[in-house]
Every structure is written in structure tokens, then in C-alpha cells.
Amino acid sequence: MSKLKLTTEGGTHIVVTRRFDAAPEAVYRAHTDPKLVQKWLLGPDGWTMPVCINEAKPGGKIRYEWTNGKGAGFSLTGEYLELVPFSRIAHVERMHLPDPTPDNHVETRFDADGTGTLMTMRMTLPDTQTRAAMLATGMEHGMEASYVRLEGLL
């Protein structure tokens, strides 16, 4: 059973929902404490995040740099807009590939769901082309991870 739901909404939104077996406080911390973010926000297997700057306050900077250890890498920068501890984060982010992609406005909510948390991440892209491009990039990464898994099985 897949716990994650990914849908598109209108022409410019992507909405991701996921349930976690931990309280909103913990899930929120895992999104805002750089030492914790560095452990999971990695994409395909084999990638690490040697640089993780995450200033969780309004106007605070975000800077993530990923590498596959074989010379390939990319980064993401962003700014926090608003934080409501343990329940809501609003920030803007862009990827550098190396040219910056258009800004992605992200609202992440953490709602208590029994003893766990339901996270809802709503991304707003400036236009449909940007959303299409973003989804295409995501697919490439997903495929890479699938191939890695396949290799592990063979």
C-alpha cells in the first residue's frame, strides 16, 4: 500500500500528501533541523547532501547541495516566508541545474492524525510549462532510483 499521494491541481499546482507515524512536532523538526534534513532529503540512492543550510525563521535562507560522489551535483536555494511551529511552513525554492529554475512556492502543513501526522505539501509553479518541466525532472530522478533498485535485485 502506498502511503504517498501525488496529484496535480489546476494548471500550476502539485499536491503531495503523506502520513507519518510520529507527532507533528517531530515531523516538523525533521523538515527544519539541518542535521535531520541531511539524513533523508536525498533523492536517488547513492546521493548525499554535504551542504545543508536551513535557517528556520521568516526570511531565513535555505541552501541544499547534493552530490553523487562521482562528480555530478546540483543545488537548491530558497527563503522561508512564514513558519508556524509544528503545523505550517511556507517557503519559496528553486533548483540550480546550474541555471536557476523558476520559483516554486511551497506550503507544507503538518496535521495531527491519530498518534501520527498527515503532511500536505502544496507546490505552486509560475506556469504550466514550469510544472511540466518540474514533473519531468522528478521522473528522471525516480527512474534512476528504480534502476538502482533493479540492480539490487539482479
Residue linked to cell 512564514 = 82
Q: Residue 69: which residues within 8 A CB-CB, separation 6 or more? A: 46, 48
Q: How far apart are CA 154 and CA 42, in angstroms?
A: 24
**Residue 45: CB minimum distance to another protein, A:** 7
SS3 at position 99: coil
- 91 versus 131: smaller Cβ distance to another protein: 131
Grid cell, residue 34, equals: 539541518
The answer to the question of residue 145 lying near another protein (CB under 8 A) is yes
Q: How far apart are CA 63 and CA 65, in angstroms?
A: 7
Interface mask (CB under 8 A) for another protein, residues 94-133, using x and -?
---------------------x------------xx-xxx
Q: Residue 25: which residues within 8 A CB-CB, separation 6 or more? A: 86
Instruction: Figure out which of the listed residues 50, 53, 143, 147 binds another protein, where binding follows CB under 8 A.
Output: 143
Instruction: Figure out which of the listed residues 15, 22, 81, 90 binds another protein, where binding follows CB under 8 A.
Output: 22
Binding site for another protein (CB under 8 A): 2-4, 6, 8, 10-12, 16, 18, 20-23, 25-27, 29-30, 36, 39-45, 115, 128-129, 131-133, 135-136, 138-143, 145-146
